[in-house]
Amino acid sequence: MQGYCVKCRAKREIRNPRSITMKNGKPATQGVCPVCGTKMFRIGKS
């Protein structure tokens, strides 16, 4: 799954993706950028 890395300013493949539920009840995916190690986040069903 791809997400946008804010630090690299590019779309990258999310490493170690895991499905989470946000406070408002919507699904999202959270993981780590493979290049810089920053936390990545993608809203929507995984």
From first to last of its 46 residues, what are the pLDDT tens digits of the chain? 899 999 999 999 999 999 999 999 999 999 999 999 999 999 997 6
How many helical (H) and strand (E) elements, i.e. helices and strands, does the chain have?
0, 5
Q: What integer pLDDT is reported at residue 46 of this predicted model?
A: 64
Question: pTM for this one?
Answer: 0.80
**For 20, phi and psi rounded to 5 degrees?**
-130, 170
Q: Determine the 3-state secondary structure of 26 from DSSP.
A: coil
Residue 35 pLDDT: 96
pLDDT of residue 45: 79
Query: Are the C-beta atoms of residues 31 and 15 closer than 8 Å to each other?
Result: yes
- Looking at residue 36, what is its pLDDT? 95
